[in-house]
Amino acid sequence: MNSIIAHELVKTYDKGAVRALDGLNLDVKEGTVLGLLGPNGSGKTTTVRVLATLLTPDSGSATVAGIDVLKHPDEVRKVIGLSGQYAALDETLTGWDNLNMFGRLYHLNSSGAKKRAEELLEKFSLTEAAKRPIRTYSGGMRRRLDLAASLIVKPKVLFLDEPTTGLDPRGRMEMWEVIDDELKNQVGGERLEITVEANQIPEATKLVEQVTGTKPSVDNGIRKISAPVSNGSASLIQVLRLLDDAKIHPLDIGLKRPSLDDVFIALTGHVAEVVVEGGANVAKRK
């Protein structure tokens, strides 16, 4: 399925004097990461704002997660997360207050919103600052919380509009690490992979399933069995013991932690490339 389809989107400002989007077409596969690159004023933010239902285009159409952006914006809002160029938070409230409030607005119930707030604070290393007002946060902390707020309902499509603008180099790095982790979580984390002789595949598969608790995927051609694991090294040792007991000697065994590049390859089938579309068909500005 396509997570985003845009067809001939046009958006002008100042009564047509500025053409921010001039017939934009996008086709984004589910489970992929699309980066929009382009100079200031090339229409990147306008694109995000149209797709996130904040802005109505002059013409054209778009669907997000299969839902028509113009016809059913309310439905689109249920499945997207948006984190903009600045931290859009209530500065007087605490980090916890903010996440709890947004959780309620995403229609989680009272205990659900609280639980999600705590999970996200933990995940983004903000638990210690949870009870402090946002105005005491550093720029990097604000952005992390802003990102957390956009992940409350585990969105099908996440829009990040220059999530590191205005951060110092260290803040930038931290932010990208957080986003990187999040992407890996969404599209697959650490995996246990073993290669065995062909005749041992069925039994080894059973053992791997026993340890990891999930059905492993098996590639008979390269005789590789792999399954996602949460506690990598413990699972690895356990599998090794069981294999040894069963007198199976793997040709290769290891933990694989995907890099962002692996994720790209796994999902798109080719090497990650930076799609530079600033001057081309993403946004033309006359």
Bridge pairing between strands 80-83 and 157-160: parallel
Q: Would you count residue 74 as binding another protein (CB under 8 A)?
A: yes
Q: Which of residues 163-222 bind another protein (CB under 8 A)?
A: none
Residue 52 near another protein by CB under 8 A: yes
Choice from 3, 47, 53, 63 touching another protein (CB under 8 A) = 53
Q: Are 263 and 32 in contact (CB under 8 A)?
A: no
**143 contributes a contact to another protein by CB under 8 A:** no
| Residues 6+ away with beta carbon under 8 Å from 115 | none
Q: Which of 18, 54, 260, 267 binds another protein (CB under 8 A)?
A: 54
Q: Which is nearer to another protein, 49 or 191 (CB)?
A: 49
69 binds another protein (CB under 8 A): no
Closer residue to another protein, CB minimum distance, 9 or 89: 89
> Of 51-59, 164-172, 191-199, 254-262, which segment contacts another protein by CB under 8 A?
51-59
How many residues belong to the site for another protein (CB under 8 A)?
Answer: 32
Site pattern 83..112 for another protein (x: CB under 8 A):
-xxxxxxxxxxx--x---xx-xxxx-----
**C-alpha span between 64 and 52 (Å, rounded):** 8
Binding footprint of another protein on the chain (CB under 8 A): 49, 52-56, 74-75, 77-78, 80, 82, 84-94, 97, 101-102, 104-107, 133, 149
